[in-house]
Amino acid sequence: MATKSQPAHDKELPSAEPRPAESAEAYVRALMAQGVECLFMNPGTDTIPIQEALSKLEQLGEPVPRTVLCLFELVALAAAHGYFQATGRPQAVLVHVDVGTQNLGGMLHNAQRGRAAVLISAGRTPYTTDSRLRGTRDTYIHWLQEQFDQHGIVRNFVKWDYELRRPEQMGEVIARAFQIAASDPPGPVYLTLPREVLMTEVGDVRLPMPEQAPPARLGAGDPDGLRDIARRLVQSEHPVVLTSTTGRTREGFDGLVRLAELLALPVVERRERTNFPTSHPLHQGFQPGPFVETADLILVLDSDVPYIPTQVMPRTDATIIQIDLDPVKERIPLWSFPLTLAVRADSASALGLLADYVGELLTDDVRQRIETRRAELTTRHNERRAARKATALAARDARTITAEWLGYCIGQFQRDASDCLFVDESLTSHVAVWNHLDTDEPETMFGSGGSSLGWGLGAALGIKLARPDRPVVLVVGDGSFIFGEPLAALWASQINQAPVLVVVFNNGCYNANKAPLISAYPQGYSVQGRHFVGTDLLPAPRYDLLAAVVGAVGERVDNPDQVLPALHRGLDQVRSGRSVVLDVILVRG
């Protein structure tokens, strides 16, 4: 288990006042019992018992989670989210009362939508005003921090919330929190910790082991239903697979490759994970539109929004099957995508069974049809890739760097540095990145799964902590970079020996806001008067200079020829232990 600093058992123990064990120590031990490796935290007067417990237990030689101090809370939650994505192991976040909870901000939305199992714990201002009680109110702010419903801040976003009422509950409450967070579909949970409870002296607290409170997992689903799907897949003339997160596990990725290859299924991704090898001939890019319109069978795997129904509609006679941990999206209030079959299952298991059933149904006729389709799809794949490459190369000799060229260079870079993991918050540049980056291995690309910006920097930190053996590259819009509290995130990366390579797509604007404005009002005042309100980030801050403030390395790149060398220089720095901010100046949006 990771411990940040050297425990003190080999030195003289400090002459600390010996105190009986308080329940805050049970909190730390309960986290350890649940296998928590990192506690991403930002403190307050409410968390001091836990800070003392961490210090005490570490100095007494007990294993404790690694503490990662995040100087802004949203970094903490994004990091725990990234860590979970990279490992499947839920981590813990600890924040200060109502205000620290509020600073988690949009990362709560991302953890919810991205199905990240995380225990978020927050202090709760002391209940009492009785000086005989340990932990009672003793400072001005203790009155201000109390809200009628602190949990109400998070209740839209979490699967479960609870206030620890008695110190004796600590073990079972923490076990319950992790059980719910990790049960399918996973998600964040919230626990408040009143200070008097944390500071109550306790004897031994029962700590249930994780194996006594296992999460509920979905398996492959109903075998009869899967046989029916297999039959429909074999009969289909124009099938398509749409996926967003099937590659969240290696089994899901391998299962999709197996089924797609068996039937020559075109796969269209929305890349929140690497779901299918980009260079595979059956990979058909990232635009569902043309396939959705013509398909007689649409197999939607692990996707919240498979296509945009106001832009493209499936055929009325199409069979549409959704296999997902939550196929009808119970937490999305309005969701009315037409479905023939909704299958609640873990796609990784379901795909294996489906492939077995399909194998039993293949006749010579069917095989012939499949081979014809495979040939057509291979041609289509090659043409699309060639067109994207031509677009990128056409930009090589331009004076300014286009997003396509930057995406292409990142793709070239990745060929040499194939051990890199990519975190994606590149917004309107994402298709340029996804198209050129041949992330052919599972668990090599991570997106938030939600829409709250500022996730990438914290997530990259968490992923690097989880996978210290792999270089981590964040591709991020300039706006999103700022939303991510770069000072807090890069500082934490530096001091925790978790360096990341940050590539800022500096187009000087919120293009994701500007482009739809232009398309909704093509002849409007904004366009005609070249006066865009609230979209331009100009004059652009010197993002590269910000790196030096925390001992990281910054470089500004504005010459197309320099993009690839700068990426390699950046990687060299990262491999030697320093984070890097590459501020790449793009054509202005």
Ligand X SMILES: Cc1ncc(C[n+]2csc(CCOP(=O)(O)OP(=O)(O)O)c2C)c(N)n1
Structure tokens at 247: 């590659």
Nearer to Mg ion, 411 or 477 (CB): 477
The single residue among 120, 257, 323, 453 that binds ligand X, judged by CB under 6 A, is 453
- CA-CA distance, 380 to 290, in Å (whole number)? 12
The single residue among 349, 507, 573, 579 that binds ligand X, judged by CB under 6 A, is 507
Q: Where are the beta strands (DSSP E) in 9-136?
A: 38-41, 66-69, 91-95, 118-124
Q: Which of 77, 97, 43 is nearest to 454 (CA)?
A: 77
What residue 480 binds from ligand X, Mg ion, none (CB within 5 to 8 A, per partner kind)?
ligand X
Q: What does the DSSP 8-state code read for residue 168? A: G
Contact 28, 65 (CB under 8 A): yes
Task: For the chain, report the end-to-end CA distance as a whole number of angstroms.
Answer: 47
- CA-CA distance, 351 to 255, in Å (whole number)? 5
The single residue among 478, 485, 544, 583 that binds ligand X, judged by CB under 6 A, is 478
Give min distance, CB of 36 to ligand X, in A. Answer: 27
Does 480 participate in binding ligand X (rule CB under 6 A)?
yes
Nearer to Mg ion, 477 or 560 (CB): 477
Contacts 24+ apart (CB under 8 A), 140-144: 141/45, 142/45
Note the Cα 488 to chain centre separation in Å. 18
Give min distance, CB of 287 to ligand X, in A. Answer: 17
Q: How buried is residue 40: exposed, middle or buried, by Cβ count under 10 Å (0-12/13-18/19+)?
A: buried
- CA-CA distance, 362 to 535, in Å (whole number)? 55
- CA-CA distance, 92 to 111, in Å (whole number)? 13
Does 479 participate in binding ligand X (rule CB under 6 A)?
yes
Evaluate the omega torsion of the peptide bond into residue 185 and state whether it is cis, within 30 degrees of 0.
Answer: yes
Nearer to ligand X, 54 or 476 (CB): 476
The single residue among 284, 496, 507, 535 that binds Mg ion, judged by CB under 5 A, is 507
What residue 156 binds from Mg ion, ligand X, none (CB within 5 to 8 A, per partner kind)?
none
The single residue among 407, 477, 484, 499 that binds Mg ion, judged by CB under 5 A, is 477
Task: Mark residues 367-406: x for contact with ligand X by CB under 6 A, - for none.
Answer: ----------------------------------------
Structure tokens at 173: 């409450």
Give min distance, CB of 24 to ligand X, in A. Answer: 33
Does 483 participate in binding ligand X (rule CB under 6 A)?
yes
In angstroms, what is the C-alpha Rg of the chain? 26
Nearer to Mg ion, 136 or 513 (CB): 513
Give min distance, CB of 433 to ligand X, in A. Answer: 11
What residue 483 binds from Mg ion, ligand X, none (CB within 5 to 8 A, per partner kind)?
ligand X
What residue 451 binds from ligand X, Mg ion, none (CB within 5 to 8 A, per partner kind)?
ligand X
Contact 40, 80 (CB under 8 A): yes
Contact 542, 574 (CB under 8 A): no
Nearer to ligand X, 420 or 427 (CB): 427
Neighbours of 410 (CB within 10 A): 25
How many residues belong to the site for Mg ion (CB under 5 A)? Answer: 4
Q: Is 429 helix (H, G, I), strand (E, B) or coil?
A: helix
Query: What are the angstrom distances between the C-alpha of 12 and each of 7, 60, 92, 151?
Result: 11, 11, 31, 43
Window 84 to 113, contacts with ligand X (CB under 6 A)? 106
Does 513 participate in binding ligand X (rule CB under 6 A)?
yes
Nearer to Mg ion, 498 or 581 (CB): 581
Nearer to Mg ion, 326 or 478 (CB): 478
Residue nearest to ligand X (CB): 477
Does 452 participate in binding ligand X (rule CB under 6 A)?
yes
- CA-CA distance, 475 to 466, in Å (whole number)? 19
Q: Is 253 helix (H, G, I), strand (E, B) or coil?
A: helix
Residue nearest to Mg ion (CB): 477
Give min distance, CB of 537 to ligand X, in A. Answer: 7
Give min distance, CB of 425 to ligand X, in A. Answer: 7
The single residue among 429, 435, 493, 494 that binds ligand X, judged by CB under 6 A, is 429
Contacts of 251 (CB under 8 A, 6+ apart): 348, 349, 352
What residue 212 binds from Mg ion, ligand X, none (CB within 5 to 8 A, per partner kind)?
none
Give min distance, CB of 538 to ligand X, in A. Answer: 12
The single residue among 77, 174, 509, 566 that binds ligand X, judged by CB under 6 A, is 509
Contact 193, 322 (CB under 8 A): no
Select the span of 91-99, 357-365, 452-460, 567-575 touching ligand X (CB under 6 A): 452-460
The single residue among 161, 424, 478, 583 that binds Mg ion, judged by CB under 5 A, is 478
- CA-CA distance, 575 to 569, in Å (whole number)? 10
Q: Which of 589, 527, 585 is nearest to 558 (CA)?
A: 585
Does 451 participate in binding ligand X (rule CB under 6 A)?
yes
- CA-CA distance, 64 to 553, in Å (whole number)? 32
Nearer to ligand X, 253 or 446 (CB): 446
**Sites of contact with Mg ion (CB under 5 A):** 477-479, 507
**Sites of contact with ligand X (CB under 6 A):** 106, 427-429, 451-454, 477-480, 483, 507, 509-513, 589
